[in-house]
């Protein structure tokens, strides 16, 4: 029994010596780990709160837009973008603001909203939509080269056919029939065989002269 008591005492003395040397460091490490966990949980809670607020603003803007109050909707979206620019709702709201600005005849404001999505948006699909709409606006302004430059960033389906169709329209306006025909043909190839949109593209192709310039 004395042997075991001696062995236990030696183990206890070893543990005490180890704790004396490393105990404070262990406590510090544990405190840092707990602080990091608390900070992470706090950040997630904060992110959740911000996402909820962004969602509420987007819902309020959508409600105003549906009620026909374009001015209020755009004002709410401006607040959304200012306070929650990193939220996905900011990009969605900017697309809505662009549409409302177009409908109000404020092309400059619409272009600013679309450019904001291109500069700050994170969702590739939303950016593809913004790029297409901005290129369409530039086309309407006869800024053909600027529009074509935007459309150089070709998206994946399902928007690829829209991009090439718009390229065809721009080349047609520029009088470049060969380039227009090639763009329309690509748009046709990228359009689902069952889509009625194919008929519109085919009409554009048929309307071109038989020989490109």
Distance CA(99)–CA(141), nearest Å, equals: 17
Distance CA(167)–CA(161), nearest Å, equals: 10
CA within 13 Å, CB half, 149: 5
**What is the pLDDT, as a whole number, of residue 80?**
87
pLDDT in tens, the chain (213 residues): 444 565 666 666 676 666 666 666 666 666 667 666 666 666 565 455 556 787 888 888 888 888 888 889 899 989 989 888 888 888 999 999 999 999 999 999 999 999 999 999 989 999 999 999 999 999 999 999 999 999 998 777 778 999 999 999 999 999 999 999 999 999 999 998 888 999 999 999 999 975 444
What's the CATH architecture for 142-213? Alpha Horseshoe (1.25)
The domains of the chain are located at 142-213
Distance CA(119)–CA(159), nearest Å, equals: 20
């Amino acid at each position: 029994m004395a042997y075991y008591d001696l062995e236990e005492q030696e183990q206890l003395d070893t543990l005490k010596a180890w704790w004396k040397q490393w105990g404070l460091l262990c406590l510090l490490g544990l405190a840092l780990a707990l602080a990091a966990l608390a900070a992470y949980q706090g950040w997630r809670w904060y992110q959740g709160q911000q996402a909820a607020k962004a969602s509420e603003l987007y819902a309020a803007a959508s409600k105003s837009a549906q009620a026909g109050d374009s001015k209020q909707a755009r004002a709410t979206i401006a607040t959304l973008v200012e306070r929650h620019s990193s939220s996905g709702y900011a990009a969605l709201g900017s697309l809505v603001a662009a549409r409302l600005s177009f409908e109000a005849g404020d092309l400059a404001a619409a272009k600013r909203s679309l450019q904001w999505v291109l500069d700050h948006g994170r969702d590739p699909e939303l950016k593809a939509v913004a790029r297409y709409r901005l290129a369409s606006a530039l086309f309407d302004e006869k800024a053909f080269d600027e529009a074509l430059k935007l459309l150089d960033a070709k998206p994946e389906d399902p928007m690829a056919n829209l991009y090439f169709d718009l390229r065809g329209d721009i080349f047609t306006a520029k009088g470049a029939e060969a380039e227009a025909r090639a763009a329309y043909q690509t748009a046709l190839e990228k359009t689902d065989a069952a889509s009625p949109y194919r008929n519109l593209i085919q009409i554009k192709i048929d309307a071109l002269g038989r020989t490109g310039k």
